[in-house]
Amino acid sequence: MWGVMDGADGLCVLPYVNELYPIGKRWRECGALKIAWQLIKIEKEQKEENISELPKQIHEIKDFLLTARRKDARSVKIKRSKDVVKFKVRCSKYLYTLCVFDSEKADKLKQSLPPGLSVQDL
């Protein structure tokens, strides 16, 4: 939650710290600016950690096949739409996606998937 606090130099946008410090004190005196920057730093670090949890896109068919042959690959889901066929392989850490725009290439890719992998058409 963010708020605007009145300071000696004008207005400053900071997280609310009214619960921590009495309202009567000026924010420079009570150290609210230092705490606000620490909170901003913590938020930034948390966002950087969450970036690694996003799905990954693979652009080459060869890389996708190598990923599908890994030990930690569990399943492949194939989603067909009008323009594109999406192959999604679930590994232990990430979900990797390959977009194929040619239906003939998509059929060949489906046939060349490893036989031990569970394939699900959506």
SS (H, E, C) the chain: CEEEEEECCEEEEEECCCCCCCCCCCHHHHCHHHHHHHHHHHHHHHHHHHHCCCCEEECCHHHHHHHHCCCCCCEEEEEECCCCEEEEEECCCCEEEEEECCHHHHHHHHHCCCCCCEEEEC
Query: Residue 46: its pLDDT value, please?
Result: 65
Residue 30 and residue 21 in contact, taking contact as beta carbons nearer than 8 Å? yes
Over residues 10-27, mean pLDDT: 49
Which CATH number applies to 56-121: 3.30.2130.10, 3.30.70.3000, 3.90.110.10, 3.30.720.90? 3.30.720.90
Over residues 14-37, mean pLDDT: 55
Residue 70 and residue 110 in contact, taking contact as beta carbons nearer than 8 Å? no
**40 pLDDT higher than 90:** no
* Confidence class for position 116, pLDDT limits 50, 70, 90: confident
**53 pLDDT higher than 80:** no
pTM: 0.57
Strand partners, 88: 77, 97
Q: Where in the chain is the domain with CATH 3.30.720.90?
A: 56-121
Over residues 9-28, mean pLDDT: 50
Over residues 4-22, mean pLDDT: 48
Mind listing the pLDDT tens digit for each residue in 89-103? 999 889 999 999 999
**10 pLDDT higher than 50:** no
Lowest mean pLDDT among 17-21, 28-32, 43-47, 61-65: 17-21
Query: Measured over all CA atoms, what is the biggest interatomic distance in the chain, rounded to whole angstroms?
Result: 72
User: In which residue are the tokens 């609210």 written?
Assistant: 32
